[in-house]
Structures are given as structure tokens and as C-alpha cells.
Structure 1
Amino acid sequence: MGFNSLRDINSASSSWKIKDRVVRSWNGFPSNGEKLKGINILLLDEKKTGMHAYVPANLIKKHDKDVVDGSVYIISEFTVKDYKKEDKFRCINSEKQIIFTKDTECIKIVEDDLLIPKNIFDFYDLAELKEIADSNIYLKDVIGVIWKDQPLADLTNRFGKPQVKVKFTIVDTRTAVNVTFWDSMAEEFVAAKKKAKGHPIIIIIASAKVTYWEGTINKIRQIEISNAASTKFYMNYTDPRVMDIRKMLGTNAFEKFDFSSQMFETFQSFTVQQLKFLGKDYAKDGASNDILDIMKTIENRRLGFKLIIRDENIDKKSMVYQATGVYELFDSTHTTDMIEPSEDNNQPSITQASQSSYHIDDLSQMNFTTPPAEKKEEKA
């Protein structure tokens, strides 16, 4: 059975038959947001061609169960409409769209078709957004590392209606761009970020709206990414571009960005004594006989640590601190000399999740003996 490719169908006929995957779908509402206008679908075929399809409101009951994201369908008997020049916010770079009619048939394929990709992206570098901002004929796909983020915020818009938003910043190796998600997408972002594994998080924002924004105080025009109805985000998605960026995070490609605020501890806390009795389930790769000897250098000693308190320790109540020195504690009649870590051991750990910047294996080479205090000669 032959199928038409999305790149070949046109408005000259309605007797088309395609075999496509539903990449994602979303409800369409009018500007007043009152009544459901239709269902929107992003389709993708085995030739990696994508196209927007639309199910009008009067056909939703017939097809609402047919629209399952990720599934593959055989769709036949539909019309193809050419976009008008003024049609904005298209979810994909295409000049036409599919319109379901009362004659349209949509049959789900039970077995997945591995020849049809799971998704489709047309990425823009963040530096390119300056040239295309406010030109929203087509929405944009972008990718970046979450660098900074703010808590979910409540506000009242100019129409007196309550809204929520979340602001964060994404970066690539050269450019940082602010992002604002609104309403349900803001809430979804906050929830997904809490569950995400792998930090810092690499995020794909598909079909994003890119505009210029001018600050009320400094009046500086900035690029801002926000969500439209068709926007969807993916955190740490399985995609070659994500894997490439993850590899670069381990190099100096991102050296001008500090991701420490995005590194979250995922470990349990133990005392030195408790470490001795941990079972084999806690074992990690490494020298099995080293850890206890290292810990014995600080066991049963009154030591003080010089810590750096960062924003995340205050704002996010993080209990992970960067230690930059250690010294032995005595009574107030003695002075102490700070023992600073060597230059080689004081490396940032911005690409290592769940880990302090101060490594425990550094302690074995430290001298914990405090030299006698030097006393100045008293004046006669």
C-alpha cells in the first residue's frame, strides 16, 4: 500500500493517504479563551517532513481519541490548505497545513513504525535570535543549558486576571537568553525541573516565540523567549544535540558560565562513624581500601572548615557548601593557621552533580598540626 509524502501533498486534491506520527498536539482557543476552537497536531513522516494538521471543533468528538502523542496513524481523505502570508506563529517551517473534514479517516497503527522519527527539530543558535526576533511567521526551536532560574511568580495582568510565570536563563557556549513561561507551562516547567535527572539541565524549547523586550528601568532591548500555544519543552531529551552539549559541559567551552546554582545534591548525609558500617550497596568504583584511611585523618578531631556561602545556600536552602580551608580548633587562648587546599585541588565542580567542590581525598595530604603562635615583643 502506497502512501503520500507530506512534501508532495497539495491543495489540488483531497484524496490523499499518509502514514505519519503525531509528534505533539494541543488545543486551540480563540483570543478570549472561552470556547475550544479545535485540535492542532504536528505530524511527521518517514522522510523527516513535518506538517501542521487541524481538527475543527465540529469534528473533535469524532477524532479526539485518534490524537495520541507519539502514535502512528494512517490518515486519508483530507484537504490541504495553503497558508496566507499574514498567518503567524506556525509551529513548523511549512507553507501548507492539513485540514480534517467529515470524510477524513484516521486509523491508528498498533505496531510502532521505527522508520518514522520520534520528533523533529530545526534548531537556531541563540546568537541567531537577534536577527529573527519579532519575525514570528514561524516559531523557533532552541536548545540551551539552564543557567539561572527564578521561583514561580503570581501576578495580575492588565485585564485583572490572575496569571503565573517563571523566568529562567538558557545559555550555549557564547550567548545567554532570558525565557519566560506563562500559566500552565510555567507550572509544568517547575514540576519537571524538580524531577529532572542530570544537572545542569539541557532544555529544548520547540515552537518558541522569540521577541524583543525592553526593560522599564534601563530601557535596554533584550531578546526574550516565551511560550505560544504550540510550544513544548523537553528536559535532558534523547537527542544528538543534547548529547553534544553534555559532552561540552565537561570542557572549557562553557567556562564563562557558573552552573553551581543548578547543581542539586542527591545524596544522603552520614557521620564519619556511620561511614564505617555502610553496606556493599553504597560501594562505588575506586580503591576499596582508601576511604577509611582518609576519613581517619579527620576522625575524632575538632576541626573547623572555611566555607563559601553562595546564593543557593540562602535562597534555595541548599546544604552543600564549598570548602576552601580546614583548621584544627583549640581554646580561645591559641591562634590557628588556616590550611588552604593546594592550587591543583581547588577546582570548580560545575559539571559534577551532587558533589562538593572540596573533595575528600584532598584531606589525606593536609597537615593538621597547628604551628606555635608567633608572639610580638611587648613594649617596655
Structure 2
Amino acid sequence: MKDIQIVFSNETKIIELDKNEFNIEKSVFNFYDLADLKELTTQTTYLADIIGVIQDPNLIISRFTNKLHQQQSQMKFYIFDGNTYVRVTLWDAFAEQFHETLMEDFEKSFIVIIICARITLWQNEVDVSNIGPTSYYFNSNHHSAVHLRNELKFPQFADIMNVKKLAEPTRTLTVAKINQLGEEDIEVRTATACL
């Protein structure tokens, strides 16, 4: 007989059921806060489950030929959990399937759960990407998704989410141009090249 350990936390809820009833959740996740993902970028052992609101409804797939002359697909977007934005980069068939499912009914697919995601650091920014076991759920009835959906009803949440225009392309600026930036450019993403 195998020993089984059941762990209870302060989030554990006990519900008394009738003799012939039982309730086992369909899906169980171990979500990381998006703000805590950076610590996972230095290791390759653990994958992460994450949840967030897709920021940009106009998601597109880039198709290109890589340096090995192979066709690849890539989809980039940001998700937001109420506190933190994180970039998601999906690749190849997984990106194509994700995009197709999302476009079927975007209004119902606003909240995404990505499970078994690989967390890396790309251009000094946390990046969530897919590998073999990665999967996703749109518009889940999981209690965390329900909580996030309820948060979306508050105007403050939508205001915070819309402050950053992360889908805008990064501009490359000279030091002289940076000195000319005004208050309206506070949320603009820029990159500077030393020439």
C-alpha cells in the first residue's frame, strides 16, 4: 500500500457531503503570482501554472523562417493578474492552436490559465513560453478564474490594465531624443542604442 499525504492550508475548505455524494475538482493548479516568476528563470527543473487576463484582444501570429531555414510560428502577448504584467511567447503548433481557440470566441476567452509553462528571462524581462506538457484553459470555472473575473468588474482593475500599452512596438531613441520626452511618454516602451 502506498502512503498518501494530504496537505491542508488556510485556504482549505471542508464541506460536509451526504453519504452518496462526493466532490472532486476537475482541475487542480499550483499558481505562481506573476510577480514571483523571476525566481524561476534561473532554474530548469520546475514548470509553472499561471493565470491572468489577456491584455490585447488583437493577437496575431508571426510566421517566419528561422536561421536553420525552418518555418516557425510565434505569438506574443501580455497577461495581467491585477498587479503584474508578464510577457507570454508561444511557439509553433501550440501558438497556432492557442490562437485558433482564442479567436473562436474572444469575449469568453479573456482569462487564460497556462499550465506547465517554462519561465525564462529574455531581454531582461520574464517570459512565459510553452514546452511539451504545456496546456491552457480559457474562461475556466476554477475558483481563481472566477475571482479574477469578479475583479474585472471593478473600474480600477480595468483602468490599471489599460494604463500600459504593452502591445505597442518598442521605439529606439537616441540620448538627445530621450531628453526631449515629456509626461505623455511615461508609459511608452523604449530601447536606447549607444552609437
TM over 0.5: yes
Give the direction of change, closer, same or farther, for the CA distance of 1:4–1:114 in structure 2 (3 Å limit): farther
Q: CA deviation at 1:253?
A: 3.0
Give the structure 1 partner of residue 102 of structure 2: 193
Contact 2:59 2:99 in 1 (8 A): no
Task: For residues 221-250 of structure 1, give each alpha carbon's deviation from its aligned partner in whole angstroms, at most 9, with x where no partner exists.
Answer: 111000010000101111000010111111
What CA distance in whole angstroms lies between the structure 2 residues aligned with 1:254 and 1:127?
19
User: Unmatched 5+ residue regions in structure 1?
Assistant: 9-46, 49-112, 215-220, 262-310, 312-380
What CA distance in whole angstroms lies between the structure 2 residues aligned with 1:134 and 1:152?
28
Q: Which amino acid aligns with 2:42?
A: D
Q: CA deviation at 1:133?
A: 1.7
Q: CA deviation at 1:177?
A: 0.8
Give the structure 2 partner of residue 233 of structure 1: 136
Q: Which amino acid aligns with 2:151?
A: M
Give the structure 2 partner of residue 250 of structure 1: 153
Matched, 1:139 2:47: yes
Contact 1:172 1:254 in 2 (8 A): no
Give the structure 2 partner of residue 268 of structure 1: none
Contact 1:210 1:223 in 2 (8 A): yes
Larger Rg: 1
Superposed, which structure 2 residues align to 1:289-368 within 5 Å? none
What CA distance in whole angstroms lies between the structure 2 residues aligned with 1:211 and 1:201?
24
Give the structure 2 partner of residue 179 of structure 1: 88
Contact 1:207 1:230 in 2 (8 A): yes
What CA distance in whole angstroms lies between the structure 2 residues aligned with 1:199 and 1:238?
12
User: Unmatched 5+ residue regions in structure 2?
Assistant: 8-20, 169-195
What CA distance in whole angstroms lies between the structure 2 residues aligned with 1:172 and 1:212?
19
Give the direction of change, closer, same or farther, for the CA distance of 1:181–1:250 in structure 2 (3 Å limit): same
Q: Which amino acid aligns with 1:140?
A: A
Superposed, which structure 2 residues align to 1:107-122 within 5 Å? 115-122=23-30
Give the direction of change, closer, same or farther, for the CA distance of 1:117–1:158 in structure 2 (3 Å limit): same
What CA distance in whole angstroms lies between the structure 2 residues aligned with 1:164 and 1:118?
31
Q: CA deviation at 1:199?
A: 5.1
Q: CA deviation at 1:255?
A: 2.0
Q: Which amino acid aligns with 2:77?
A: F
Give the direction of change, closer, same or farther, for the CA distance of 1:231–1:190 in structure 2 (3 Å limit): same
What CA distance in whole angstroms lies between the structure 2 residues aligned with 1:211 and 1:135?
9
Task: For residues 242-292 of structure 1, give each alpha carbon's deviation from its aligned partner in whole angstroms, at most 9, with x where no partner exists.
Answer: 010111111113422229x9xxxxxxxxxxxxxxxxxxxxxxxxxxxxxxx
User: Could you say which structure has the higher helix fraction?
Assistant: 2
Give the structure 1 partner of residue 60 of structure 2: 151
What CA distance in whole angstroms lies between the structure 2 residues aligned with 1:130 and 1:201?
24
TM-score relative to the length of structure 1: 0.36
Identity %: 31
What CA distance in whole angstroms lies between the structure 1 residues aligned with 2:89 and 2:106?
22
Q: CA deviation at 1:131?
A: 2.2
Give the direction of change, closer, same or farther, for the CA distance of 1:258–1:194 in structure 2 (3 Å limit): same
SS in 2 for 1:233: strand
Give the structure 2 partner of residue 86 of structure 1: none
2:114 is matched with which residue: 205, 210, 225? 205
What CA distance in whole angstroms lies between the structure 2 residues aligned with 1:197 and 1:114?
34
Q: CA deviation at 1:136?
A: 2.6
Task: For residues 47-83 of structure 1, give each alpha carbon's deviation from its aligned partner in whole angstroms, at most 9, with x where no partner exists.
Answer: 69xxxxxxxxxxxxxxxxxxxxxxxxxxxxxxxxxxx
Give the direction of change, closer, same or farther, for the CA distance of 1:173–1:245 in structure 2 (3 Å limit): same
Contact 1:207 1:231 in 2 (8 A): yes
What CA distance in whole angstroms lies between the structure 2 residues aligned with 1:200 and 1:230?
21
What CA distance in whole angstroms lies between the structure 1 residues aligned with 2:103 and 2:109?
12
Task: For residues 169-189 of structure 1, give each alpha carbon's deviation from its aligned partner in whole angstroms, at most 9, with x where no partner exists.
Answer: 101111111111111111111
Q: Which runs of 4+ in 1 moved over 6 A?
A: none
What CA distance in whole angstroms lies between the structure 1 residues aligned with 2:160 and 2:80?
10
SS in 1 for 2:42: coil
Q: CA deviation at 1:197?
A: 5.6
Contact 1:139 1:210 in 2 (8 A): yes
> How many aligned positions are there?
150
